[in-house]
Amino acid sequence: MIEKIKEITYNTLEDYLFRLSELKDVRIAFSSSLSWEDQVITHAIFSQDLPIRVFTLDTGRLFPETYSVLEATRQHYQKSLEVYFPQHAAVEELVTKKGPVSFYESVENRKECCFIRKVEPLNRALENVDIWITGLRAEHSENRQELTLVEEDTGRGIVKVNPLVHWSLEEVKAYVKKHHIPGNVLQDRGFVSLGCQPCTRAIRKGELFRSGRWWWEDNSKKECGLHG
């Protein structure tokens, strides 16, 4: 299947997603963090009424502004995004044993929290999915410089497609503006990489894109397990 996907020719994002959705007997899902990038892809899917599931992860620690974008998106397109929550028993056990901010204490603790609140719900959302669409861009971080449009997620046994892999931030913002897409006001305030409220801050002038995520950690460790 991956070779068939790689053979798709297209001119625009909308064209690519349309052709992707035409593949026979293929189940496709898109995971949205409600960031500018993901709102671009959501628009391309919803505006064409494509048979692609759109879902988001509610970790229980999101910014109020992110919930506002979720509702604005529902109203704007008159369509629903599937929402996945973490397993309540796992969250209860974590907070009971280690407290509400254990992620500040070590990388291991932070990854444990990320797994419970993000990775496990994502794995459930991707059950029985053949193609997983993401809003990843190569310029997000050094770890993502080698991203390609189509790649294998060997851990989950599915194909991952990154249609914005070569887009610049300027191109993303221009698309959002052109199509009047609901966006998160936090990103206008420097919160360029959206995540959980306790783990995200605005970046300063000259800082890397991912500097605002888990800012107390070494830059080389800034992934949560969603993308390997």
Q: What is the residue-wise DSSP string for 34-50?
A: SSHHHHHHHHHHHTTT-
Please tell me the predicted confidence (pLDDT) of residue 70.
97
Kindly indicate the confidence band of residue 204, based on its pLDDT and cuts at 50, 70 and 90: confident
Active site residue 224: yes
Strands (E) located in 101-205 = 131-133, 150-153, 158-161
In the predicted structure, residue 105 carries a pLDDT above the cut 90: yes
Closest CA to 38 of 63, 57, 10, 19: 57
Per the model's pLDDT, the better-predicted residue between 76 and 169 turns out to be 76
pLDDT in tens, 126-136: 999 999 999 99
Kindly indicate the confidence band of residue 221, based on its pLDDT and cuts at 50, 70 and 90: low
Residue type, 97: K
* pTM value > 0.95: no
The DSSP code for 81 is: P
Cα distance between residue 214 and residue 55, in whole Å: 24
Kindly indicate the confidence band of residue 207, based on its pLDDT and cuts at 50, 70 and 90: confident
Residue-wise burial string across 104-113, b where 16 or more C-beta atoms lie within 10 A, e elsewhere: eeeeebbbbb
- From 113, 114, 199, 224, active-site residue: 224
pLDDT in tens, 6-36: 999 999 999 999 999 999 999 999 999 999 9
Kindly indicate the confidence band of residue 223, based on its pLDDT and cuts at 50, 70 and 90: low
Looking up tokens 């444990």 gives 112
pLDDT in tens, 50-94: 999 999 999 999 999 999 999 999 999 999 999 999 999 999 999
Percent of the chain clearing pLDDT 90 (strictly above): 77
